[in-house]
Structure 1
Amino acid sequence: MSAEEDFAARLAQATPRTWATQAIVVANVAIWLAMLATGTDPMRPDVQSLIDWGANLLPLTVDQPWRLMTATILHAGLVHLGFNMWVLWDAGRIAERFYGSLQFLLIYLISGLFGSLASLFFAARTGVSVGASGAIFGVVGALLAALFTKQSKLPPGLAASMRSSMLLFVGYSLFMGFISSFIDNAAHIGGLLSGFAAAVILAERFDWEEYRRSAVQRSILAIGAAMVAAFLVWKMVPVPVA
């Protein structure tokens, strides 16, 4: 058995079921189906429908902060949903095995929150912002954190190939975001950076001794740091234009 196969087998043994990734995918698809049931266009939902379901939009979000999270389970059509769920299914199952299901959920939620907060300074300042991509970029950021900070504990071949593919995905996605007006790059960057930061604090499950010794304390620290950072960013959110 190669080092990569042995590593994958140990990860699968530590986290046999990636139930958190599956649950997130099911939740996103269920919300989309519920929107269809109320008459929303499956390919191009109108702006008012997205707002009614909880889209992120600065003038509304400043009074209804819950939109920061509800926006992360809404999608602007089947293509948007399909692409996000495809990426989440691929990257999420790996990240869930890297960090364990509960820490993975924590990374996902923190990244979704900071992706929405970042969007308030750009796309959501004047238009609606929806989608799981901020949280998904956070998942990718968490993988990059492991690949760059714990590479000595990973099989060299696996680390090199994953690092290249993750960086290529991030680079291409951000490039497309900069040249496409309909892509919320602020949410992508906010999610990516917060996911990376959260993962640096958390303990990776493949570093079993460290995980067993400090996973709970590190999770509490990550939650506390995220709450403080979110509060500070929220205080800097621009005032909506009347």
Structure 2
Amino acid sequence: MTEDSARTTATPVCYRHPDRSTYVSCVRCDRPICPDCMQPASVGFQCPECVREGRKTTTQARTVFGGGLSGEQGTVTRTLVIINVAAWVLTLVAAVLTGEVGLRQLGRFVIFGGITGVTEWGAAVPAYSCGFAGEVCGGIASGEFWRLLTADFLHYGLIHLAFNMYALWILGRECERLLGRGRFLALYLFAGVGGSVAVYLFSPLNEASAGASASIFGLLGAMFFFLRRLRADPRGLVFLIVLNFSLGFVVANISIWGHIGGFVVGAAVGALMAYLPSGPNRARLQWMALSAVGAALLILVALRTASFGIL
């Protein structure tokens, strides 16, 4: 047998794995591919390189507001629920281990909650005043700016947590489905920080505020504009918004300013996501608009801090 005929009759091997024989070729480039390299196509199989090249030229499906379809899985909503629950469990465990809550008070504390070292560290408090002159010795005004974010993940008791997580589970999955993962997460966080900023601006000193309700009110505000943009009837949602705001004036220990701030910021973000023009530049315009909202919140925080004579 000649050298040329031997080369012709040799068993083909995978172009990525030379030690593997194969008689299957990529339908696009005709290179031999082994089972590990076979990517199912509408007809036959393709190699990994051809699949990657094909994805570059394929337009990815998007939601009506420009987000990816991955939001339909509700992954971010589930993650946020887990983080909130974990933070509450951490608060409970820390209170027991440090002796802040005794066994006699444990049952009541689990249901109704209370102030602990964790909530004192992370709740949104405009400023702790101390001394006869009212000097600032803690709170956001003293530079504890992490409170603007951490307050959104802390809760006072199981009832507080359960109501907020139920609302997040219902509203969050729908908003995530419409926006996609990244945009939904931005909406949630911006609304939460917006609620804390409103507390910083308008709530009395020494008054602590915590809970995911600011973000949830933000989702309600955003959902109103989503329904309007989709030409759906928003009357049921409006009734729900009015009802929840009314409860803030009836039920004690509810942060009205946190709800208002979260609602306003969430509604603003939702309107921007819904009504910015579609097209190839929509994503860039949306993220630029979010940056503008973030800059506005930073300016408000800076002005409020300066009013304490700190900046």
TM over 0.5: yes
Map of 2:304 onto structure 1:
237
In the TM superposition, what is the alpha-carbon distance from 1:195 to its structure 2 partner? 0.8
After TM superposition, the structure 1 = structure 2 runs for residues 35-74 of structure 1, keeping only pairs within 5 Å, are 35-38=91-94, 39=96, 41-59=109-127, 60-62=139-141, 63-74=143-154
Determine if the alignment matches structure 1 residue 109 to structure 2 residue 109.
no
Contact map agreement 1:119 1:125 (CA 8 A) in 2: no
- Gapped runs of 5+ residues in structure 2? 1-62, 102-108, 128-138
Q: 1:201 aligns with which of 272, 279, 300?
A: 272
**Higher RCO, 1 or 2 (CA under 8 Å, sep at least 6)?**
1
Determine if the alignment matches structure 1 residue 20 to structure 2 residue 76.
yes
Supply the AA of the counterpart residue of 1:45.
Answer: G
Contact map agreement 2:191 2:266 (CA 8 A) in 1: yes
In the TM superposition, what is the alpha-carbon distance from 1:146 to its structure 2 partner? 1.3
1:184-203 alpha-carbon deviations (Å, 9 max, x no partner): 11111111111111122225
Structure-2 separation of matches of 1:50 and 1:122: 23
With structure 2 as the length reference, what TM-score do the two structures score?
Answer: 0.64
Structure-1 separation of matches of 2:308 and 2:254: 21
2:201 aligns to what SS in structure 1? coil
Supply the AA of the counterpart residue of 2:292.
Answer: A
Structure-2 separation of matches of 1:237 and 1:168: 34
Map of 1:3 onto structure 2:
none
Q: 1:180 aligns with which of 230, 237, 251?
A: 251
Structure-2 separation of matches of 1:15 and 1:105: 10
Q: 1:98 aligns with which of 173, 178, 186?
A: 178
Contact map agreement 1:203 1:215 (CA 8 A) in 2: no
Structure-1 separation of matches of 2:219 and 2:264: 10
Instruction: Give the aligned CA root-mean-square deviation in angstroms.
Output: 2.7
- Gapped runs of 5+ residues in structure 1? 1-6, 153-158
Structure-2 separation of matches of 1:139 and 1:213: 26
1:97-140 alpha-carbon deviations (Å, 9 max, x no partner): 11111100000010001100101234463311000000111111
Q: How many residues align?
A: 219
Structure-2 separation of matches of 1:132 and 1:124: 20
Structure-1 separation of matches of 2:147 and 2:204: 11
Calculate percent identity across the aligned residue pairs. Answer: 29
Pick the structure with greater CA Rg. Answer: 2
Contact map agreement 1:31 1:73 (CA 8 A) in 2: yes
